[in-house]
Amino acid sequence: MQQETCQQVWIYIDESDRLRGRALSLRILDTLREAGCPGATVLRGVGGYGIHGVVHTDIAVELPSHLPLIITFIDRAERVARVLPTLRELVSEGMITLTPVTVVQASHRAAGPFPRHLTVADVMSRDVAQVQLDTPASEIVRLLIDRALRAVPVVDAGQRVAGIITDGDLLSRGVTTLPLRLKQLLPIEVRSERVASLAAKPQRAADLMTPNPVTLPENASLAQAAAVMNDHDLKRLPVVDASGRLMGMVSRLDLLKTVAEGVRQRPEQPLKLPQGAPATVGELTITDVPTVYRDTPLTETLDRLLETEKRRVVVIDEDRRVVGIITDGDVLRRAGRRVQPGAIQRLAAWFAGGERPEELEVAAQGRAAADVMSSPVFTVTPATPISEAIRLMMTYKIKRLPVVDSEGRLVGMIGRAAVLSALAQGAENSSSAS
């Protein structure tokens, strides 16, 4: 790279300095990271004294917490100018200096989609719902519904992970007849009745769980977590300590958030993907996308919806431009307003594979796809960088994005699973090459 004039910032504080109960040095590092500064180092002195004249040294073991700290980083002058006011507010007692420096070479480790310094313990959810081996089915379902969960780990008396219960486990073992995502859309009184009806079910967690689930050690890298999720086609994994005790849960969403956060911190820098990882949306696009038109009758729209595994159709106009999107949840929220609660249950059961409700024709009469679609829709093009697709998905909590051409015409779809799979493959390629 060409020589570049930058600034080196030196921040002098005391090791004992704290701000709202947390070490000031860590707060400064957080500030620099959030500002997008490429790196910072904390140096700990072995001895020194300040303007008060009191000498501290690491030889005096009775005073180890008062040694001087120096935090330093190098960055472009414009970013230093942006972050400096915040640093001055943080360092109420101490000193900040600037030194002009010339960067003659700056090299980095091979880029990867996931931060190398983070482990799953850094990004996992620690407040994890869990059940015991003898927890009854009704309590399990209530917990999943109340906390909007799709899975819950099962632990033994020693907090070791013995199994996991997913939405699919409950359906396949006959405990529930509706997927949890649909059950959570039913009126609260209906949900309560359904949970209460499970009280007579004899099954316990040990009967319903998938035993010996795939888990991750808490020191696993994010790249490793992505690879395991990809290999086993899983959305979330329990995280355990060396003894197998439950420490948390890490999800596909947690991993993608770290990538999106890196993009947010350094908006001027493109996401550097390793060799082998797709760089644009076009390389991950699925072209077989179910569609309907705005004026497609609602009954026909619902039939089309049921033909798709993901229960999702894209609404297009006569020129194949995307105008909306419909999921089974959209239908329950909107079309369900015109029918009685019992009919809503039957409609949800139909989406789950049951019989077509008799009153559907009456409720859907005169209605079309446009009446239940979500609009407008965020879209991407085949040339959209993967980083931008991730940013949209994370910012707006979108699972899948329609892919359109330069005229807005539908060409396909991209989802979180495909993105994570690509990043996992890229991360594996990067690791094997290093």
C-alpha–C-alpha distance, residues 351 and 333, integer Å: 13
Is 50 exceeded by the pLDDT of residue 62?
no
Summarised one tens digit per residue, pLDDT across range 302-314 is: 888 888 888 899 9
Give kind and range of the element (H or E) at residue 412: strand 410-415
DSSP secondary structure string for all residues of 245-287: BEEEEEEHHHHHHHHHHHHHH-TTS---PPTTS--BGGGT-B-
Domain 120-251 has CATH 3.10.580.10: yes
| Average pLDDT of span 40-51 | 74
Is 60 exceeded by the pLDDT of residue 386?
yes
C-alpha–C-alpha distance, residues 153 and 161, integer Å: 7
Residue 78 DSSP code: H
Domains 4-103 and 120-251 share a fold: no
> What is the predicted pLDDT for the residue at 363?
62
Q: How confident is the model at residue 432 (pLDDT cuts 50, 70, 90)?
A: very low
C-alpha–C-alpha distance, residues 388 and 263, integer Å: 8
C-alpha–C-alpha distance, residues 146 and 191, integer Å: 10
| Average pLDDT of span 118-136 | 93
Say if residues 64 and 22 touch (Cβ distance below 8 Å): no
Q: How many Cβ atoms from other residues are within 10 Å of residue 228's Cβ?
A: 18
Find the angle CA(299)-CA(399)-CA(222) to the nearest 5 degrees.
155
C-alpha–C-alpha distance, residues 181 and 202, integer Å: 24
Q: How many CA atoms lie within 13 A of 390 on its CB side?
A: 30
Q: What is the mean pLDDT of the chain?
A: 83
Give kind and range of the element (H or E) at residue 363: helix 360-364
| Average pLDDT of span 198-209 | 86
68-77, 80-89, 176-185, 388-397: lowest mean pLDDT where?
Answer: 176-185
Domain 4-103 has CATH 1.10.10.60: no
Residue 170: both structure tokens together = 């409950």
C-alpha–C-alpha distance, residues 129 and 394, integer Å: 23
- 223's CB contacts (< 8 A; 6+ apart) are 112, 113, 114, 424, 427, 428, 430, 431
DSSP secondary structure string for all residues of 147-192: TT-SEEEEE-TTSBEEEEEEHHHHHHTTS-SS-HHHHTTS-HHHHH
Q: Where are the domains of the chain?
A: 4-103, 120-251, 281-433
| Average pLDDT of span 254-282 | 76
> What is the predicted pLDDT for the residue at 15?
86
pTM (global) more than 0.75 = no
> What is the predicted pLDDT for the residue at 414?
96
Residue 202: both structure tokens together = 């004899």
Whether cis (ω within 30° of 0) applies to the bond prior to 382 is no
Pairing of strands 4-14, 68-75: antiparallel
What's domain 281-433's architecture? Roll (3.10)
User: Across-strand partners of 70?
Assistant: 12, 43
C-alpha–C-alpha distance, residues 149 and 129, integer Å: 9
C-alpha–C-alpha distance, residues 210 and 195, integer Å: 22
Is 80 exceeded by the pLDDT of residue 77?
yes
> What is the predicted pLDDT for the residue at 60?
45
Question: Of the candidates 117, 377, 380, which has an alpha carbon nearest to the alpha carbon of residue 261?
Answer: 117
Is 70 exceeded by the pLDDT of residue 417?
yes
C-alpha 368, offset from chain centre = 34
> What is the predicted pLDDT for the residue at 216?
95
Question: Of the candidates 230, 232, 368, which has an alpha carbon nearest to the alpha carbon of residue 292?
Answer: 368
User: Across-strand partners of 12?
Assistant: 70, 95
| Average pLDDT of span 174-189 | 71
Is 80 exceeded by the pLDDT of residue 359?
no
C-alpha–C-alpha distance, residues 251 and 243, integer Å: 21
User: Across-strand partners of 210?
Assistant: 164
Question: Is the model more confident about 91 or about 274?
Answer: 91
Residue 111 DSSP code: P
> What is the predicted pLDDT for the residue at 61?
46
